[in-house]
């Protein structure tokens, strides 16, 4: 059986977990903190979580795990069959990782774990995170899903990245990232109403 290594509070872990749940794939969860011990580095070369253990060996990097699971069990599809629609779903997913999650992530230790704040970091977050959210508005549709009429990997990645970035920007910069996109609240509520996200939230509580 597939084993997903990581921790419930990791938003990249919950992306992989949500994919497994949405596809109805059996998997086992293995509690694993990020870290640099040799045994973990053999599964995840950068020491990050998650990693997926398969019969053929471990896979790290969440989007590599996502693509693997889509090929392993195509139905229900999380990437559209149409090439353009598939590319747009990937574009939204990568956009939320690169320009929203990674824009805010340098402030995570201060916002969530009590590390001292760094004014330069806060200033960069205040500049880059709203830019990423505003730009998302030009590719997101929220009709009803983030890329249009179909629930895709883009919804899973965005719903597991935007809330964390929003918390960081609010706490460190007093900026409401969600205010950039008025339709985002209803979309988030729709994602939160899915059984997969309900389970993720319950397991994290």
Ligand X SMILES: N[C@@H](CCC(=O)N[C@@H](CS)C(=O)NCC(=O)O)C(=O)O
Residues 6+ apart with CB under 8 A from 95: 132, 135, 136, 139
The size of the interface with ligand X (CB under 6 A), counted in residues, is 10
User: Does residue 146 interact with ligand X by CB under 6 A?
Assistant: no
19 binds ligand X (CB under 6 A): no
163 binds ligand X (CB under 6 A): no
Q: Which is nearer to ligand X, 24 or 45 (CB)?
A: 45
Q: Which of 8, 25, 29, 34 binds ligand X (CB under 6 A)?
A: 34
For the chain, the farthest-separated pair of C-alpha atoms sits apart, in whole angstroms, at 47
With CB under 6 A as the contact rule, which of the stretches 18-26, 58-66, 153-161, 166-174 interacts with ligand X?
Answer: 58-66
Q: Which of 32, 62, 160, 161 binds ligand X (CB under 6 A)?
A: 62
Per CB under 6 A, does 61 bind ligand X?
Answer: yes
Query: Does residue 32 touch ligand X according to CB under 6 A?
Result: no
Nearest to 158 by CA among 8, 6, 7, 14: 14
DSSP letters spanning 42-102: HH-TTS-S-EEEETTEEEESHHHHHHHHHHH--SS-SS-SSHHHHHHHHHHHHHIIIIIIH
Residues near ligand X, by CB under 6 A: 10-12, 34, 47-49, 61-63
């Amino acid at each position: 059986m597939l084993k997903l290594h990581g921790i419930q509070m990791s938003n990249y872990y919950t992306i992989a977990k949500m994919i497994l749940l949405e596809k109805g794939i059996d998997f086992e969860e293995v509690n694993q903190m990020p870290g640099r011990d040799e045994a973990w580095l053999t599964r995840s070369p950068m020491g990050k979580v998650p990693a997926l253990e398969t019969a053929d060996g471990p896979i790290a990097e969440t989007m590599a795990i996502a693509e693997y699971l889509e090929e392993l069990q195509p139905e229900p599809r999380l990437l559209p069959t149409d090439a353009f629609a598939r590319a747009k779903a990937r574009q939204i997913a990568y956009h939320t990782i690169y320009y929203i999650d990674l824009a805010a992530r340098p402030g995570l230790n201060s916002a969530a774990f009590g590390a001292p704040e760094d004014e330069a970091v806060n200033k960069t977050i205040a500049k880059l995170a709203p830019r990423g959210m505003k730009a998302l508005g030009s590719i997101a549709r929220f009709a009803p899903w983030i890329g249009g009429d179909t629930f895709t990997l883009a919804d899973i990645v965005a719903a597991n990245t935007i809330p964390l970035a929003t918390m960081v920007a609010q706490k460190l910069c007093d900026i409401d990232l969600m205010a950039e996109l008025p339709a985002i609240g209803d979309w988030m509520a729709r994602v939160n109403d899915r059984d997969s996200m309900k389970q993720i939230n319950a397991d994290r509580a």
